């Protein structure tokens, strides 16, 4: 199968940067801010209480549950109000968290591979279920488009985001290589949508359930995969 590859789409969290350190720092920064500016919120809810409030919001508004930022904002607004502050205090707390959440540390192989792909004239898209912002994290210049669970219509592995990516890239799903660390949301989702799938397995652990078209341990291996796809003659 020779493939006329036109575009490459990437997952973000744990594909371009480790997500949990960023979220941990973001939660911590928000707690510090709350302690200084709205201590009653933490006193009344604690960090676990805020998490519970967010879960309750998601249960109450299941149609918006995948809008992670909105769930956080609604929960913080309510927490602020219940603790005797203006709801806007909750929004300010969210901003503090949000800025830190987008202060991520890229894996070393990210920028070289993006440069290589751009030099190949490939269209690049970001497909994330999370609420990182491609411009804020500093990768916006490389990407033609970015979708999340909200703008993409539904969280991965649903086909909606992948289908929308193909329409934004102006090509067939089969002309797109999707790269991600998650076997379900990335590999299964992209495969169902008809894309070529690359599983980024950074830990190198074996997984019997893995059925990607390609498996790589580092993004440095991606150019080889793409070259291989393009040079296969029918």
Binding flag, residue 179, Mg ion (CB under 5 A)? no
- One character per residue 5-24, x = contact with Mg ion (rule: CB under 5 A): ------x-xx----------
Q: Cβ 31 to Mg ion, closest distance in Å? A: 25
H-run or E-run covering 125: strand 123-127
Structure tokens at 103: 């202060």
What are phi and psi for residue 233, nearest 5 degrees?
Answer: -95, 145
- Which runs of consecutive H residues, i.e. helices, occur in the chain? 19-37, 39-60, 68-82, 87-101, 110-119, 159-169, 189-192, 222-231
In this chain, which of 181, 198, 213, 215 binds Mg ion, going by CB under 5 A?
Answer: 181
User: Comparing C-alpha atoms, which of 117, 139, 118, 122 is closest to residue 13?
Assistant: 139
Please identify the residue of the shown chain whose CB is closest to the bound Mg ion.
Answer: 14
**Min separation Cβ 107 and Mg ion, Å:** 12
d(CA 32, CA 109): 33
Q: Which residue has the tokens 């707390």?
A: 93
195 and 179 in contact (C-beta within 8 Å)?
no
Stretch that binds Mg ion, among 77-85, 94-102, 182-190, 215-223 (CB under 5 A): 182-190
Q: How far is the CB of 130 from Mg ion (least distance, A)?
A: 8
Residue 73-112 contact track with Mg ion, rule CB under 5 A, x = bound: ----------------------------------------
Q: Smallest distance, Å, CB 114 to Mg ion?
A: 16
**Shortest distance (Å) from residue 194 CB to Mg ion:** 21
- Which residues lie near Mg ion (CB under 5 A)? 11, 13-14, 181-182
């Amino acid at each position: 199968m020779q493939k006329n590859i036109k575009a490459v789409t990437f997952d973000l969290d744990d594909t371009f940067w480790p997500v949990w350190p960023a979220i941990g720092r973001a939660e911590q920064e928000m707690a510090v801010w709350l302690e200084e500016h709205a201590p009653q919120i933490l006193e009344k809810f604690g960090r676990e209480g805020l998490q519970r409030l967010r879960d309750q919001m998601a249960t109450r508004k299941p149609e918006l549950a995948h809008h992670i930022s909105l769930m956080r904002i609604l929960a913080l607004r309510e927490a602020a109000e219940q603790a005797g502050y203006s709801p806007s205090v909750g929004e300010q707390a969210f901003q503090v968290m949000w800025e830190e959440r987008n202060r991520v540390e890229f894996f070393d192989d990210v920028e070289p591979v993006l440069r290589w792909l751009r030099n190949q004239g490939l269209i690049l898209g970001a497909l994330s279920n999370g609420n990182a912002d491609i411009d804020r994290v500093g990768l916006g210049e490389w990407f033609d488009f970015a979708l999340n669970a909200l703008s993409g219509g539904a969280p991965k592995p649903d086909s909606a985001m992948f289908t929308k990516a193909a329409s934004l890239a102006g090509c067939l799903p089969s002309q797109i290589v999707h790269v991600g660390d998650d076997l379900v949301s990335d590999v299964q989702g992209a495969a169902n949508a008809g894309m070529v799938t690359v599983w980024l397995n950074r830990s190198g652990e074996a997984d019997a359930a893995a059925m990607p078209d390609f498996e790589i341990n580092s993004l440095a291996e991606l150019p080889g995969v793409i070259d291989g796809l393009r040079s296969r003659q029918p």
